[in-house]
Amino acid sequence: MEKNKPLILISNDDGYHAKGLRSLIDMVAGFGHLLVCAPESARSGFSRAFSATTPLRLKLRRQWEGVEVWSCNGTPVDCVKLALSELCGGRRPDIVIGGINHGDNASVNTHYSGTMGVTMEGCMKYIPSVAFSLCDHSDDADFAPLAPLVREITQRLLAEGLPKGVCLNVNFPLATAFKGVRVCRMARGTWGNEVVRCHHPRGYDYYWMVGEYTNDEPEAADTDNWALTHGYVAITPTRVDVTDYGVMDMIKGWQLQ
C-alpha cells in the first residue's frame, strides 16, 4: 500500500459482488489506494448493526494495482470496523465511501440503510464520509451517468474534508441525465403495509417484511424526495448528533425535580 497516495475505504450493503460497488471502484480508481471491505452477501436494511455474538471472517477476493477487495461475513458496519482494525496497516483512511447502493436512501430510509451505516461509521471515526445511491433496485442498473458527480464529490472531500460529525448522503434519480443538484433536507415520510402474512403448508404462519413508502410532504420543494422526483441529484448533509436542541431547551423549562 503506497503511503504517499490517499487511502480510500469503500463498503456497501449489497455485497462485494454488486455492480454498484464495482462501478464505484472504476469511477474513483486512480484517486488513491482503494481498500474495499464489503459483506459477502446482501445486507440491505442492516443500518448501523454490528455483530456482537457472531465470529467474523475476512477473505481476500481480488487484488490488482491500487485495489484490494475483501469480503466479510458480517454487517456493513462490521466491514468498516474490521477494515480499520485489520486491513489499513495502521493508516487512517482519507475518506470512507458507501455504495453505490442499488435503490435510494432518501428520507427515513437513511435510518434503515446499511450503506448509510457504512458512512455513519466512518463519520463517527471523524473520517470524511459519503454515501452514494441510485433510485434503481435492479441488479444490472446503469451507474454510468453518476460517474462525473461521484468523481467530483470524492475529489472535493479528499481535498477539503467535512466538519467532524457530518457526512453526506447523495441520492441520484433514475435518469440518463440530471437536471442539476439540490442540497436539501431529509423528507418526512412513513412506511405502511409493512408486513405480509403467509401460511405454510405445514401449518404455521410466516411473514415477509415489505411496505409502501409515503412522502408525507410531497409539495415541499426543499426535500430529498422532491429533488429525486423532479430529476435532481439530492445531497443531504447528515449529522451523527441527533440531539434536538430546541426541545432540549423546552424540557429544561419544565423545571423537573
Answer yes or no: are the C-beta atoms of 32 and 158 closer than 8 Å.
yes
Q: pLDDT grade, residue 257 (50/70/90)?
A: confident
Q: Which is it for strands 180-183 and 232-239: parallel, antiparallel or unpaired?
A: parallel
Distances (CA, A) of 24 to 34, 35, 36, 191: 10, 12, 10, 29
Percent of the chain with pLDDT strictly greater than 90? 88
- Share the mean pLDDT of the chain: 94
Looking at residue 2, its pLDDT comes to 61
What angle, 0 to 180 degrees and rounded to 10, lies between the N-to-C axes of helices 147-160 and 19-28?
60
- Grid coordinates representing 206? 410466516
Looking at residue 47, its pLDDT comes to 83
Beta sheet of 58-64, edge-to-edge order: 58-64, 67-72, 33-39, 7-11, 95-102, 129-134, 166-172, 232-239, 180-183
- Could you report the per-residue pLDDT of 87-113, keeping only the tens digit for each? 999 999 999 999 999 999 999 999 999
Looking at residue 133, its pLDDT comes to 97
Q: pLDDT grade, residue 45 (50/70/90)?
A: confident
Answer yes or no: are the C-beta atoms of 116 and 224 closer than 8 Å.
no
Q: pLDDT grade, residue 42 (50/70/90)?
A: confident
85-97 in b/e burial notation, b at 16+ Cβ within 10 A?
eebbeeeebbbbb
Answer yes or no: are the C-beta atoms of 35 and 10 closer than 8 Å.
yes
Q: Is the pLDDT of residue 200 over 60?
A: yes
- The mean per-residue pLDDT over the stretch 137-154 comes to 96
Q: Is the pLDDT of residue 1 over 60?
A: no
Looking at residue 49, its pLDDT comes to 86
Beta carbons within 10 angstroms of residue 7's beta carbon: 20
Beta carbons within 10 angstroms of residue 175's beta carbon: 16
Answer yes or no: are the C-beta atoms of 132 and 101 closer than 8 Å.
yes
Beta carbons within 10 angstroms of residue 219's beta carbon: 7
- Could you report the per-residue pLDDT of 147-197, keeping only the tens digit for each? 999 999 999 999 999 999 999 999 999 999 999 999 999 999 999 998 999
Looking at residue 255, its pLDDT comes to 80
pTM for the predicted model, two decimal places: 0.93
Q: Any idea what DSSP says for residue 102?
A: E
Q: Is the pLDDT of residue 68 over 80?
A: yes
Q: Is the pLDDT of residue 77 over 80?
A: yes
- The mean per-residue pLDDT over the stretch 242-246 comes to 92
